[in-house]
Chain A
């Protein structure tokens, strides 16, 4: 078989080289599944099922974000939910025979569950849970950080239903030394290498045992859309969304900090001690709670209104593992701040809705800046916060442009 594969590869390689009008040097080390783009790639429109206003950052793998005004719903519908995929969406899945294996050093014995087991043997719970990509806002870091250049739209708050992870872990039985939960999903590696795990992250056992940490089989009252992790997804609200693995078929209860792909190096980590912009960091610490943040979801940036008319603004605010305690807006670039009406969260880790009425004192150009404060009195900065090599945790104030004419 190896010879035949090699032969096929040589044939393809010759064809690729000919079509490109050049030789692919070291092409002999190219994986057999590899196909250069000349066979077809067009600027991407959002994948099916997504709102046409969603912005595609990357179509292989899919990385798609909302715009602030698309996130106006109190509960994010599937068509306006950002996609952050590290690999290809799994193909040819057989949901009827789906099995979840719970294993690892710290289980008393490995145990398997069918989807029917999960639905019938455990009490279901439903929570609104905020999921934000750790790299949301990356595009503003200077010097730039590599990766998808998210602006503000890699955040959502949908209603998730499923099994409490702690109920499942208690059913399996875990040892006292359990330290971390690592997930494994069925996504496929971009290189086509079937033995390569795309991403396998997770959360410390304390977070796994929180009542809101779910192994979800339902979103907004229906099946989880395929691109968002059907049929089974971890949901660890308030943490980088990469901790909420999709297409889950295995959970490992570890007695060490989980060491799957994208747990180590610079992935989802920031310098333990702050560094000057553009300088390397010695020690990198895993991101846990996301920072306090907010969005103006109405009106859409660019609103023109007649002088004298009051402007109603609204949006959402969230604070990772914590709660937002107050919300303010400014129309004078932070010289003065005014309180907004802020609702309590529907449940812990749900984003909170806020609104305010704004009077613009004279004709002209304004920016409406929004700033949330969390229960630890931490506020959103107006400038981009501490630089880090991978451009995570940008929680700078959101702002919209408004004109009074």
Chain B
């Protein structure tokens, strides 16, 4: 079930219900939806304080288990200040893989954001844009690879 199905299904159901019931049901369903995917919740952000009500220790254990070698396993992002802002704003429309496989300067990342805002319905990022650019420019910066890199990751095998 994706977000769209969810909305439309919710919309259909909710039209049958009154205002108060509607509110209760919505919040209940949303909560249920989240808790049915406990392994997908991510709460730990180095340098960011989780907001109140989301820091139960059992949940934190689940979340720590999602980080291996400094990588947030569900997305592949490097865990550092700002990675959750990136998840929140970028991965609704496209896969995290599209970010991770790219390399750009701060200006290059800014250009991509501007392009997505102009053509792809990306919203105004407000002061989170600064955090996003800091994170991306730090961890996904270009590496000078010359005009042709040596062959890498060769898996040797005996040719039969």
Q: Of B50, B89, B95, which one neighbours A58 at CB under 8 angstroms?
A: B95
Q: Is B70 an interface residue (CB 8 A)?
A: no
A35: chain B residues at CB < 8 Å are 2-3, 6, 92
A8-B10, A34-B93, A144-B104 known; A19 and B41 CB under 8 Å? yes
B116 to nearest A CB, angstroms? 9
B contact residues around A16 at 8 Å (CB): 88
Complexed CA–CA distance, A299 and B125 (Å): 49
Which residues of the other chain, A, contact B84 by a CB distance below 8 angstroms?
Answer: 20-22
Q: Is A225's beta carbon under 8 Å from chain B?
A: no
Number of chain B residues close to chain A: CB under 8 A = 78
**How many contacting A-B pairs (Cβ < 8 A)?**
204
Which residues of A in the span 91-142 have a Cβ within 8 Å of any Cβ on B?
A: 140, 142
B120's partner among A24, A58, A143, A190 (CB-CB below 8 A) is A190
Residues from chain A with a CB closer than 8 A to the CB of B156 are 302, 304, 403
Q: For residues 141 through 160 of chain B, which have their beta carbon under 8 Å from a beta carbon of chain A?
A: 142, 144-149, 151, 154-159
In the assembled complex, how far is the CB of residue A267 from the closest CB belonging to chain B, in whole angstroms? 10
Cβ of A79: which chain B residues have Cβ within 8 Å of it?
Answer: none
In the assembled complex, A382 has its CB within 8 A of some CB on chain B = yes
Complex CA gap A20/B27 in Å reads 16
| B148 A140 Cβ-Cβ under 8 A | yes
Q: Which of A145-153, A250-258, A282-290 contacts B (4 or more CB under 8 A)?
A: A145-153
Instruction: Determine the main DSSP class of B at the interface with A.
Output: loop
Q: Do A21 and B101 touch (CB < 8 A)?
A: no
Indicate which residue in B6, B7, B33, B75 contacts A37 across the interface (CB closer than 8 Å).
B75
**A32 proximity list for chain B (CB < 8 A):** 7
Please count how many residues in chain A sit with their CB below 8 Å of the partner chain's CB atoms. Answer: 72
Of the candidates B31, B53, B120, B159, the one having the most CB atoms from chain A within 10 angstroms of its own CB is: B159
Which residues of B are in contact with A by a Cβ distance under 8 Å?
2-4, 6-7, 10-11, 14-15, 23, 26-27, 30-31, 33-34, 37, 40-43, 45, 48-51, 53-55, 73-76, 84-85, 87-89, 91-98, 101-105, 108, 111-112, 119-128, 142, 144-149, 151, 154-159
Report, nearest first, the 4 A-B pairs whose CB atoms are least far apart. A37-B91, A21-B50, A35-B3, A191-B121
Name A residues whose Cβ lies closer than 8 Å to a Cβ of B: 4-5, 7-8, 11-12, 15-26, 29-44, 56-61, 140, 142-144, 146-149, 189-193, 196, 261, 299-305, 311, 367, 382-384, 396, 399-401, 403
